[in-house]
Structure 1
Amino acid sequence: MLIPLLLAWTPNPALQAAPDLPDLYALKASVLETGTGEVIEHAVLLVEGGKVITVGEDLVVERGIPVYELEPNQVVMPGLVNAYTRVGVTGSGPSGVQPWMRASDELYPAAGDYAKAREAGVTTLGHYPSGNGIPGRSVVVRPMGASADAMTLKDDAYLKVIMSSSKSAKSSLSGGFKDADSWIAKEAKNKEKWDKAKEKFDKEDDEEKKKKLDPGPYKPIKEDPKATSFMELRDGSLKALISVRTAGDYLHLIDAIGEEKFSWDLRVVMTRDMNIYHVIEKVAESGRRVVLEPEISLHPGTMRQRNLPAEFARAGTPLVLVPRNDSISGFEAWRRHVGEIVASGLDRSIAVRAITLEPAALLGVGDRVGSLEAGKDANILILSGDPLEPGTQVDAVILEGALVSGEMNL
């Protein structure tokens, strides 16, 4: 018998407007994809207070708990997580180095694209700031909420960096760390000067002279937002997502990083004819995640096809897949496109994880979304069949336990 666990969680008020589902209920499905790579047949999923309580095979549900028994053909999986998108936000940013800027300042909860994203099965979005160079910081949102605060799961999820083979692109990154060093040195001198003045003040016995020597409370030098951002990279409170297009861009990136130690992942912009395959092994050795589209490319100068997502995965690189087109139509075709590269050689369990748990981990919210595990948000898709088959439709979408798209019947 299942005993519901009482979890310390306050539901998001904006998600309680749809009373279609009770606070406590169970789903029964012939097939459930957890997002971790595990596939459960004859699955039972218990939801309470917007959280997954437990999930397993042929579990017995306590009497009195409403049970939604799905059709034999229907499949359950976690809500999709898009780690790299501008859908729902608008505006264009300038080029340059502005690591203090935030995509969260652009949030507009009333944007109609959020409802369309939910209907496509996307329940978590990582919005990046627009612009070139180092345009700022991303924000993680649920596609629903009455205010920006209600939508936001995590701010400052990653610092967006665009790297190329140019000298200016390299100096944007390496120069940021130099600015941090310069600020630290100036602050150290400022503190040293104050310490000496304070020491002189403390040693003076003459009260009249002491009044003139009083340095007052310590005042740090003016904060430099650029330097502060790079200090955050160093101390681990901020990570980076760095975009490259070519193997040369990647080698320039490694040169620009030099001896600096900070957390970063790699965004590879897919093009029809690209040479990033030259550094796949080097990327795998670095242990970084790779974010790219589910697309077949061509070997340069030939018509030979390459499945770069599969090549990265075989090399041991954690994979994050994003829609080919950053649009609602791209969201709707996303699962189908992932299915195409699975048919061409990408491991299926890796592919499912690459659109659920892996992007959630990249965004820093993997402890909350991205898989159907006990204690996580009940972000659930009910599909008409295999998630990666071309004709499969989204029958229903559940966001934090609430039905936000489609229908369900007892």
Structure 2
Amino acid sequence: MINTYLIHAGKLVTVSELGTIYDGGMVIKDGKIADVGDISTLQKQFPNLPIKDFSDYVVTPSLVDCHTHLLEFAPSSLYPITEKTHFQAGRAILLHALTSGITALGEQICGHPACNFAIDDYRNVVKDVPLDISFAATSISIGFKELAHFTSVTKSRAVRHTDLSDSQLVNEIAKQNDYPGENLFINATPANFTADEVPRAGEIIYTLDELKRIVAIYHLHGKQIGVHVAGEEGIEMTLDAGIDVLHHAHGITDEQINRAKHQGTKIVATPMGGTHLEPNSPENIFKLVKQNIEVSIATDAYLPPYPNVDWLPFTDQTLQGPDAFMKIAQPGMKLLHENGLDENEVLAMLTANPAAILGKGDQFGKLEPGMDANFLVTDGVPGLEVVDVDEVKRVYFRGDLVVDRMSD
């Protein structure tokens, strides 16, 4: 049978109700997972299928990073490019993500002052890339001395503060939006600028009434809304307004965690940074998960690591990208594992949970029949046991081998 084969894994971590299967197997057919079980049973059922033998390795779902800035802001931050070469740099960065074990991304499109690209330009440039990319259409406020506001709809043209809550503009952004990413910046962002360049980072941009009206517009379109937010005051406003997904939520209080739990609010944790406040610590992630809040971990890359926190493995503020994903996730994953969560539950923060944020939880993020065959062959459980991308030996996307370190 064409494009049909059997995977033999020494350890198959499914991140599903099937849990971990030692000497596990998966039948892959036409880019989908057709069956999952123990290898001996599957070999008897499918005696004629070719076998890919990974009996000395761990096989897991591939990684999902649901909060990135790889295509819009990273190219000019990393390379001396022009608008003409912007997308060439972006595609190189996407390949870097793929080689880091990531096969699905949530990319924010905020409006870049130096590049007059529309969200459809970004959609077009990734059509033939072996990655599943969802785009969050957003507006952004940058905390310069004079606040700067941009939107995905107005592209490189700056807008006024008052425009951010204009119903016509918000409607258009909501229509273009794929998933609840950083659709609004409740606080002005430091982005990847130094502190002296963004003295107004953290300033609250919206009133509660404005937020409620914007949330109503998104929900009227049948879409969830996510926000960039940090600090007790801003987080309280988002909970009052009925925001669906909080990105960062740095500085969230115990009382607010309890409230988020009861409201069904999801949180995308960014342990590397991303706001004006100290990022999500392992202890913070532990509290969120123990309250049964659905937590995803994301890189917010490219980003300089927040300085002087003991859970980050970096020695300076060099911009970090997709290859840091497992490194920044490991401290929180280990703490949860040490306190009783199994490897499937902790790995879900890098696979199934962010897939659900993207609205694609029934498509990838788990290894079970009917899912896309997006999986990794590794030396251990990603994030929990391994953090070096060289230990990700193979990456499969929809059944095709797209990264191969076994032949090195």
Q: How does 1:10-409 map to 2 (within 5 A)?
A: 23-36=3-16, 38-58=19-39, 59-61=41-43, 62-72=46-56, 74-90=57-73, 111-130=91-110, 145-146=127-128, 156-158=178-180, 160-164=183-187, 168-170=205-207, 173-174=210-211, 176-177=213-214, 232-235=217-220, 237-255=222-240, 257=241, 264-270=244-250, 274=251, 276-294=253-271, 307-323=283-299, 325-326=301-302, 329-345=320-336, 347=341, 348-387=343-382, 388-390=384-386, 393-406=391-404
C-alpha spacing 1:171/1:251, structure 2 compared with 1 (3 Å): closer
Task: Please identify the structure whose Cα radius of gyration is greater.
Answer: 1
Secondary structure of 2:178's counterpart equals strand
Normalization by structure 2: what TM-score? 0.64
Normalization by structure 1: what TM-score? 0.64
Secondary structure of 2:15's counterpart equals coil
**Corresponding pairs, count:** 305
d(CA) in 2 for partners of 1:318, 1:108: 35
Which consecutive unaligned segments of at least 5 residues does structure 2 have? 76-85, 113-117, 136-176, 188-201, 304-318
Offset at residue 130 of structure 1 (A): 2.4
Amino acid at match of 1:245: A
Identity, in percent, stands at 19
Secondary structure of 1:361's counterpart equals helix
Give me the CA root mean square deviation: 3.8
Which consecutive unaligned segments of at least 5 residues does structure 1 have? 5-21, 93-105, 178-229
C-alpha spacing 1:380/1:349, structure 2 compared with 1 (3 Å): closer
d(CA) in 2 for partners of 1:57, 1:36: 15
Q: Which residue of 2 aligns with 1:186?
A: none
Q: Deviations over 1:381-402 (max 9, x none)?
A: 1102232224651100011111
C-alpha spacing 1:269/1:315, structure 2 compared with 1 (3 Å): closer
